[in-house]
Structure 1
Amino acid sequence: MSTGAVIAVVLVIVVALIAVAAVLLVMDRSRKLQARFGPEYQRMIGAGENRRAVERELRDRERRHRELHVRPLAPEAHDRFAKEWADVQEAFIDAPQGAVADADDLVVRLMHERGYPTHDYDQRVKDLSVDHGHSLEHYRAAHDVLARAEERQATTEDLRSAMVHYRAIFEELLGRSSNVRPDDSEVRSDKPAPRPNSRQM
């Protein structure tokens, strides 16, 4: 085999190895994004978004998150927020809709205490997705119920479900793990809930 032929073969092999390495690198980045963002990654793909665009968006979220000053709670702040949450849960018995609004406000204030920007809901969701992608659907579901409640379109059961969802994201932000499921029923009233209708909300 001539020297030129050998060089050509070597170049083909090198190019092939570079191509394989590039594919493996892309696959590794995808796996890491899927592991970090969990359901949020799948939700965006399931919504019909292009995979490359999704991964570019998620990498942008990671870059923004690195510029934030997210911090754990001080012990006294942890205790204060835990006490406030207990008060909100107790208030649900007599004022479900007000308690849900208070729960939303408490989660936003907790985010602020942790160092997250809180001025815009959509941006809050994006920022939370980086470290809390596996619990983010709880926040979305709770916020959706709150929006419907403000339009007087949420039932008492909807409000109870929202409290469960808020508790899941609240406890994760607070620093406690939560195994809450959407049908968890820790938040309950000591008296029968009134028949929900548009006038009650």
Structure 2
Amino acid sequence: MTTVLIIVAVALVAACALAFLYARQTGGRGIRRRFGPEYDRTVARHHGDARAAEHELHERLKRHRSLHERPLTPEARSQYEDRWTRIEAGFVDAPQQAVAEADALLAELAHDLGFPDGRDFGEQSAALSVHHAEHVNGYRRVHAAKQGDGGTEEMREAMLEARGLFDVLASNGTDRPVRRHPHHAEGSGTA
């Protein structure tokens, strides 16, 4: 009887050890799948250290996973869409101003949806990366471009990428495209 108990105990310990090893091996793939391109950017920022990047991303998940976005009212959505359209239309004449306004609008929109306040860009972009990893880089690019270090083409590309995040946020986190004013979007130089 004692021998049987020892064999069962050893089998249970072995099964737990195998489960633990499997979870550690697939954990990186799970976090990579969840964060997509954000995973690669984080690994690059950690000079290729995947373990450090995964630790950072797990910490972000712990801090921001429970955040629940508040939906926009139809009126608020329409106002944000109109403001974004005006910003895009103004890009041709004043690209630096348009980029700064886009950055401010994204910060305000994210905050209205329940994300951390945009005054702490790092914390707000970290929270956005947990919920919108595919699109958060557009916000980062616009935020960096407002400093004026890049040329007009770089600002244009940042605006295009940021529009992806705007569309997702303005559509209350769905992939449903937002309404566009065709005469503004095509003539803005950013479409």
Structure 1-normalised TM-score?
A: 0.75
Which stretch has the larger CA shift, 80-89 or 52-61?
A: 52-61
Indicate how the Cα distance of structure 1 residues 48 and 9 shifts in structure 2: closer, same or farther if over 3 A, else same.
farther
Indicate how the Cα distance of structure 1 residues 123 and 89 shifts in structure 2: closer, same or farther if over 3 A, else same.
same
Contact 1:92 1:99 in 2 (8 A): yes
| 1:162 equivalent in alignment to 2:163 | no
Q: Which has the larger radius of gyration?
A: 1
Alignment of 1:29-40 (within 5 A): 29-40=27-38
Alignment of 1:121-160 (within 5 A): 121-147=121-147, 149=148, 153-160=149-156
Cα distance, 1:22 vs structure 2 = 1.5
Cα distance, 1:168 vs structure 2 = 1.6
Contact 1:168 1:178 in 2 (8 A): no
Contact 1:36 1:131 in 2 (8 A): no
Cα distance, 1:38 vs structure 2 = 1.5
Contact 1:138 1:168 in 2 (8 A): yes
Deviations along 1:122-166, one digit per CA (max 9) or x if unpaired, are 11111111111111222222222222x1xxx32221221221122
Query: 1:96 is matched with which residue?
Result: 95
Contact 1:41 1:54 in 2 (8 A): yes
The equivalent position to 2:17 in structure 1, one of 7, 16, 19, is 19
What SS does structure 2 have at the residue aligned with 1:115? coil
Contact 2:137 2:162 in 1 (8 A): no
Query: 2:62 is matched with which residue?
Result: 63
Contact 1:33 1:58 in 2 (8 A): yes
Unaligned runs of 5+ in 1: 180-184, 190-201
Contact 1:37 1:133 in 2 (8 A): yes
Give the AA of the match of 1:143. Answer: H
Query: 1:188 is matched with which residue?
Result: 189
Contact 1:138 1:166 in 2 (8 A): yes
Query: 1:177 is matched with which residue?
Result: 175
Cα distance, 1:11 vs structure 2 = 3.2
Structure 2-normalised TM-score?
A: 0.79
What SS does structure 2 have at the residue aligned with 1:116? coil
Distance 2:43 2:90 in 1: 39
Alpha carbon RMSD of aligned pairs, Å?
2.7
Query: 2:40 is matched with which residue?
Result: 42
Indicate how the Cα distance of structure 1 residues 170 and 67 shifts in structure 2: closer, same or farther if over 3 A, else same.
same
Indicate how the Cα distance of structure 1 residues 39 and 16 shifts in structure 2: closer, same or farther if over 3 A, else same.
same
Contact 2:69 2:115 in 1 (8 A): yes
Distance 2:16 2:142 in 1: 47
Query: 1:79 is matched with which residue?
Result: 78
Indicate how the Cα distance of structure 1 residues 69 and 9 shifts in structure 2: closer, same or farther if over 3 A, else same.
closer
Number of residues paired by the alignment?
A: 178
Contact 2:35 2:134 in 1 (8 A): yes
Contact 1:145 1:159 in 2 (8 A): yes
Indicate how the Cα distance of structure 1 residues 156 and 98 shifts in structure 2: closer, same or farther if over 3 A, else same.
same
Unaligned runs of 5+ in 2: 178-184
Query: What is the aligned-residue identity percentage?
Result: 37
Contact 2:110 2:169 in 1 (8 A): yes
